[in-house]
A and B are shown apart, each in its own frame.
Chain A
């Protein structure tokens, strides 16, 4: 029966050996490399995935940090603004007070000076008036001295004035 099916032990063994050689060659040259390549690839993909989650984690943390920093900064700014406002108000009040003070002082100085001026002016005016009156009197006296009637009248008047002032 084996004969009629064409089975020949020599050929059978030859085929087995040639398959063995094929297995050896494929395993040595191809499959071992594919094996390592696949392992490497798996490792690389796993690493990439791990890196990705790590990066995402870090990014999240970073974002949170940033957000917190933002918040803090905003708060600080707010605070500073409030402070600045207060300070501005304070300086304003101070300035206003100072300005008022200085203005008052100046006003006072000015008033004093004005009074002084007034006094001076009065003195001056009275000086002027005196000298003017003297000169007028001298002039009048010079004019009238030639007039004996006026002289008498004048003497009379002055006597009367003296009388009045004595009484």
Chain B
């Protein structure tokens, strides 16, 4: 059993490497966009079905934002809800059967996300890389949980942190905002926030993926034989862990949005808190 830390390269679209995780994240994005247009297109006064779900999520974050930041919090609700929706959708799509197991074998090189992979294909044969899988066929899954890729999670983390600081400058003024960082440790803490944002989400989702794969193939790993029966039993073994992963997917999406909100409230000065100073 080997699960790569990196997303596997599927093909190159010009200079752009299309990996399996970005494919999944596009699917999640597309799904949400279609849902949003369908629901927004025939928006009803009396909600029903998916509209209800969206309204519920929106109201949940609105309640929390106004609780933490007062009335000003309500303008950040779209960002929080988008973060939550994107993360939970891609997490739950990542748990679906076929993600991580549906794919193809590639013989020439260990799949890698970097764009040098394709030109370096010949070198891989000649110079044995540190990865001892090169040379023999390597399994490349077609889909991979979008958040089991550090590119996705760091993209989200950087967006959030940039947003938070832009909002801080907008609300309090540049000099006032920079006054937060008299202590150099504060600057370190800002970077560690990005790291912890990115790695938390990635770690949870990736560890979940490893856990699911390990549990599904536990009999194969122990006995060393791959029988069809072991696969069937593995399916039963993995069921409770699947439920756990659905729960973790929700919790991580929620935590991401909640942390965004609480970091935002550290820097965003509302009128009330300013007069309080």
Contact = CB atoms under 8 A, between A and B. Distances in A.
Per the CB under 8 Å rule, do A and B touch in the complex? yes
Interface of A: 3-8, 10-16, 18-23, 25-27, 29-31, 33-35, 37-38, 40
A6 B17 contact: no
B86 A22 contact: yes
A11 B151 contact: yes
B37 A8 contact: no
B22 interface: yes
Given A6-B112, A12-B151, A29-B36, A23 B79 contact: yes
B5 A6 contact: yes
- Report whether over half of chain A's contact residues are helix, strand or loop; otherwise say mixed: helix
Contact of B32 (A6, A11, A22): A22
B244 interface: no
Interface of B: 4-7, 15-17, 19, 22, 25-26, 29, 32-33, 36-37, 39-41, 43, 45, 47, 54-55, 58-59, 62, 77-79, 81-82, 85-86, 112-115, 149-152, 154-156, 158-159
Most buried by A among B43, B77, B82: B82
Contacts of A22: 29, 32-33, 82, 86
B40 A4 contact: no
Contacts of A23: 78-79, 82
A15 B151 contact: yes
Main secondary structure of the interface of B (DSSP, over half): helix
Given A27-B78, A38-B55, A7 B43 contact: no
Given A12-B151, A23-B79, A30-B39, A5 B6 contact: yes
A16 B5 contact: no
Give the most central of A3, A14, A21: most B CB within 10 Å. A14
Q: Which 6 A-B pairs have the closest CB atoms?
A: A6-B6, A29-B40, A15-B155, A11-B151, A30-B36, A16-B155
